């Protein structure tokens, strides 16, 4: 194996909880600075005028070792004094934000209002919180995901949190995405990566808002290094969130094949859970390499060993893909 493969530069496309857990393992398995995380910001929303970035913050807290592990987001032991007071003052309070969250949202909103880029703000925050990788919002633009449901079009957090993803989804809109550029940092992270990994996140809600940015899908398709996805499914179902129901509601194929379809033309391989091993043949028939492993990430140690496994496998894919491309 080449020296490059031993210490690869890895770029992870990620949503919130699943992305954060994969990021933890990759960060532990790689040299400091070798991991760049491109995070979804389609879920971003303003609450009380403050800019909230749920996926960025979940990744931040997780990598900083501060996350509330039981719920997968928020800060462990965080208090809710601000939110309780807002409720007393008559403000809506369906989005559970802790006091540490509020501080981060205040800080981010304040710097954004002063003209700073979200990328630079999160870079400073990540440094302050001791992260050893780069945490990049997919864009500095505003690209809110909106959910067209049987009850009308809802903003993402309205649908996801306030309505607990109950209204059946007809279609998703990534508003402004096709005319909004990913940042220079994101373009570089994809262009310079030895391996691109798509985290076990919801492909429709977490990864597609990244891929939908102007030129990003093409940039990814044109890369000459491997790209692999980790299926977020365990035994054909989402560990968390509305993914499997959404795929069905939207008339998309389910299972690992459905996940691979979302990334058609982009990925060289897919990592699926052993409980979904029955799908291996169908995936291979579509020309996709498959790694079957125990993908359910519960403890951080599990995340690191999964990361090492995926990196080693993708490293071998690397040579194959390059040879194929150069023939």
Residues making contact with its own copies (CB under 8 A)? 48-50, 78-79, 81-86, 88-91, 99-100, 102-104, 106-107, 109-110, 113-114, 124-125, 128
Q: Strand locations in the chain, DSSP E?
A: 10-14, 35-39, 45-47, 50-52, 134-137, 145-149, 152-155, 169-174, 195-198, 227-230, 233-234, 237-238, 269-273, 289-293
Tokens 């491109």: give the residue.
38
Of the candidates 136, 202, 154, 210, the residue with the CA atom closest to the CA atom of residue 177: 210
How far is Cα 317 from Cα 260, in angstroms, rounded to an integer? 17
Nearer to its own copies, 106 or 248 (CB): 106
Least distance (Å) between residue 50 CB and its own copies: 7
Least distance (Å) between residue 47 CB and its own copies: 9
Least distance (Å) between residue 117 CB and its own copies: 16
How far is Cα 203 from Cα 210, in angstroms, rounded to an integer? 10
Least distance (Å) between residue 188 CB and its own copies: 25
Least distance (Å) between residue 103 CB and its own copies: 3
Least distance (Å) between residue 162 CB and its own copies: 17
Nearer to its own copies, 6 or 120 (CB): 120
- Phi-psi domain of 11 (left: phi exceeds 0; alpha: psi -120 through 50; beta: other): beta
How far is Cα 209 from Cα 194, in angstroms, rounded to an integer? 23
How far is Cα 81 from Cα 97, in angstroms, rounded to an integer? 10
How far is Cα 247 from Cα 203, in angstroms, rounded to an integer? 10
């Amino acid at each position: 194996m080449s020296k490059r493969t031993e210490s690869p530069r890895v770029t992870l496309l990620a949503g919130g909880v699943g992305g954060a857990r994969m990021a933890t393992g990759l960060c532990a398995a790689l040299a400091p600075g070798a991991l760049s995380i491109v995070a979804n910001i389609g879920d971003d929303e303003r609450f009380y005028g403050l800019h909230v970035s749920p996926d960025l913050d979940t990744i931040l807290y997780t990598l900083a070792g501060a996350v509330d592990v039981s719920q997968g987001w928020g800060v462990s032991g965080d208090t809710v004094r601000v939110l309780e007071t807002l409720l007393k003052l008559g403000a809506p309070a369906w989005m559970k934000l802790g006091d540490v969250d509020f501080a981060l949202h205040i800080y981010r909103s304040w710097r954004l209002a002063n003209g700073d880029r979200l990328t630079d703000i999160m870079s400073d925050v990540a440094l302050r919180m001791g992260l050893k990788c780069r945490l990049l919002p997919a864009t500095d633009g505003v690209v809110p995901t909106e959910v067209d449901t049987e009850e009308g079009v809802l903003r993402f957090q309205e649908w996801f949190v306030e309505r607990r993803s109950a209204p059946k989804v007809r279609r998703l809109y990534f508003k402004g995405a096709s005319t909004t550029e990913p940042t220079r940092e994101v373009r570089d992270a994809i262009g310079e990566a030895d391996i691109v990994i798509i985290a076990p996140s919801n492909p429709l809600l977490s990864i597609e808002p990244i891929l939908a940015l102007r030129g990003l899908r093409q940039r990814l398709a044109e890369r000459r290094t491997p790209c692999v996805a980790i299926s977020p499914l365990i035994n054909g179902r989402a560990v968390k969130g509305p993914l499997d129901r959404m795929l069905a509601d939207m008339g998309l194929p389910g299972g690992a094949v459905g996940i691979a379809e979302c990334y058609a033309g982009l990925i060289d391989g897919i990592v699926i859970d052993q409980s979904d091993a029955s799908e291996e043949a169908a995936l291979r028939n579509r020309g996709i390499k498959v790694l079957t492993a125990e993908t359910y990430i519960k403890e951080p140690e599990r995340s690191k060993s999964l990361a090492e496994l995926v990196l080693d496998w993708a490293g071998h894919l690397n040579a194959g893909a390059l040879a194929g491309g150069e023939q």
